[in-house]
Structure 1
Amino acid sequence: MNRQQMIKTVESLNNLPTLPMVAMEMNRMLQDIETPIERLVVVLERDQATVVKILRLVNSSFFGFRNRVTNLRHAVTLLGYGTVQNAVVTVSVIDTLKLKNELKGFNISGFWSHAIGVAVMCRHLAECTRLAPAEEAFTAGLLHDIGKVVLINVFPDLFKRIMEEIKANRTTFYMAERQLGSWPHTRIGSHLARRWMLPETLEKSIQYHHGTTGPAETLSMVSLVRVADTLVNIMDDRAGYRLDADTLPAAIRDPMVNALKNSADWFPAVKEEMATATDFFKQG
């Protein structure tokens, strides 16, 4: 199947993974800062499973509030609309993207470990560089490879060929896709993000995280995800990855290089946070 056939297949699919209705409605509402908090709480309370997960998240080490938060309205007030949106998306995506197909050589647990590791790294880099809101950076990092899950479920034979190409030539997943002429996971993931009505910043960070370009208004987030993804892949000793700061946009290069210069100081703590976050989110 060639690239054009893949595009037509993905765009015509009616059975792509869908976020819960509460997450879709929250996405719409939280992009309007005029939305009353009472209305947000009413919508969220329709899905008690999501409420429980948000309260777990609020009371986790990620936020470090001294007093336990047991009330949803209080949680929304403490976190703010942007963080609540990202929390809803985060817990919904992990629940939604389940594998329908089991493929030899692909470990879904490893996939989520990588995604959460990139999310934690992305949030840390955002905090160091001030290039983007930290919690939005976490969500962007978490979502960057969602196209791979669609690829496995819809094009399992192609996915196997990509994995074989990676092993044979010690290359990256994205470069193997290009070698085989397939529609890349970045574009498939971007298509899914549009279906889910996610904010443009998240959609573009999925689409462009393997490139050196992107829309000017989302370039900071795209660059954060790209660097975080590269660093985590290098940490995991995956072949084909190297960080070249010279390819970063000029306005982003200096703060990113400054953050990376001090990596020996912050890396152990970030690595520990990755392990904590992986345990937390895999608990469901």
Structure 2
Amino acid sequence: MKIEMKLGMDEAIKLIQSCHIDTVPAEIYQLDELMLAPNPNSAHVAQLLSKNPEILGEFLSLANRVLNKSPDDLIFEASGAVNLLGLDEIKRLFLSSYLTKNLPISTEDHKLIVNCHRAGIAAAELSYWVNDISRTEAFFITFLQDIGVIYMMRYDPDYYAQTFLNAQLTSPFSAYEKEFEHYQTAHTFVGSVITRRWHLGDLLSKSLLLHHQESLESVMAYDAKVAKMVALMQLANVLTFKVFSDHYETAELKQIEEHTVRFLALPDNAVQAAQAALKKWGEGINDHVSSH
């Protein structure tokens, strides 16, 4: 089935008009202002991060997970994060923390956030072997991959989740086509439109739009960095499924793993490292998100 891009985008815009779309926190724009200063003041950045203790706690916890810090090297204070991370990295992790706390409103939302968070951890670990994509970039984009799903569930709460959500965990390509066929758009289009409205950059919006694209080679011809990011997301999702799901791995998932590993030219230890990171950090994410 051919996914018609213009149709999908037009229908996504119509769908979004019927939903309440969350706004990004004011701190994100304040971080942007600090980043534009000729000499950004690290103390001001730390002070901004510390304004909301609850978000700060999630931010520091997330930074430790994404950076895969050892127990004797954990970050406990905003100043420590500021000294270690770049401002773009701080912005990504801060917004991820904010959305983790504020976006989920249902049990299905929470499950989705947990799954995307776990996949983000795997993508961050895999990014070590991928040129041009940083750990926080890989985490942030993978974490937000299904932002459109949350709004699709709000648009069609009685049908979307039970019909398309779980199906796409085991059949990411074929179930996605059925979603598009039913709505004439899909969560990929919705997520891409929303993140453009939030001014979060081309790499994110394009990666969200194309993350169910089966032909990585065609994405490569369009944009090499987007293709690498899409491959990272697809592989991270498969590894997350293998580590945490009780269901069998489908032929489609096996095909995705083989294709993405080959496409990214990853060594065996890259997949092993990602699985180890998932086992180290992934279990606690469920309790952490559910407690919010």
Q: What whole-Å deviation, never above 9, does each CA across 1:3-50 have from its counterpart, x for those lacking one?
A: 687434334357212222213433565477853324423433443332
Cα deviation, 1:25-82, whole Å, max 9, x if unaligned, reads 3356547785332442343344333223333445668333736655423321123323
Structure 1 residues 95-244: aligned runs within 5 Å:
95-99=101-105, 107-159=108-160, 162-163=163-164, 166=167, 172-211=174-213, 212=216, 213=219, 214-233=222-241, 236=245, 237=247, 239=250, 240-244=252-256
CA 1:27–1:208 in 2, change beyond 3 Å: closer, same or farther? Answer: farther
TM normalised by structure 2 equals 0.74
> Residue 27 of structure 2 aligns with which residue?
22
1:85 aligned partner: 91
Distance in 1 (alpha carbons) for counterparts of 2:234 and 2:85: 26
Cα pair distance change 1:193/1:48, threshold 3 Å: same
State which of 97, 100, 117 in structure 2 corresponds to 1:94. 100
- How far apart in 2 are the matches of 1:33 and 1:232? 41
Q: Is the 8 A contact 2:176 2:212 kept in 1?
A: yes
Aligned partner of 1:17: which letter?
D
Structure 1: state its 5+ residue gaps.
none
Contact 2:16 2:190 in 1 (8 A): no
Give the CA deviation at 1:160.
5.3
Q: How far has the Cα of 1:159 moved from its partner?
A: 1.1
Q: TM-score, normalised by structure 1?
A: 0.76
The one-letter code of the counterpart of 1:72 is: A
CA contact (8 A) 1:230 1:241 kept: yes
Matches within 5 A, 1:28-39: 29-30=34-35, 34-39=39-44
- Provide the rounded CA distance (Å) in 1 between the counterparts of 2:161 and 2:275: 35
Asked if structure 1 preserves the Cα contact closer than 8 Å seen for 2:235 and 2:256, the reply is no
> How far is the alpha carbon of 1:135 from its aligned partner?
1.9
Among 46, 49, 62, the alignment partner of 1:44 is 49
CA 1:63 to 1:13, structure 2 compared with 1: closer, same or farther past 3 Å? Answer: farther
Bigger proportion of residues as helix = 2
- For structure 2, the 5+ residue unaligned runs are 1-6
In 2, distance between residues paired with 1:33 and 1:63?
31
The Cα of 1:149 is off from its aligned counterpart by 0.2
1:266-281 matched pairs, under 5 angstroms: 266=273, 269-273=276-280, 274-281=282-289
3-state SS of 2:133 partner: coil
- Verify the 8 A CA contact 2:62 2:97 in the aligned structure 1: no
Aligned-residue sequence identity (percent) comes to 17
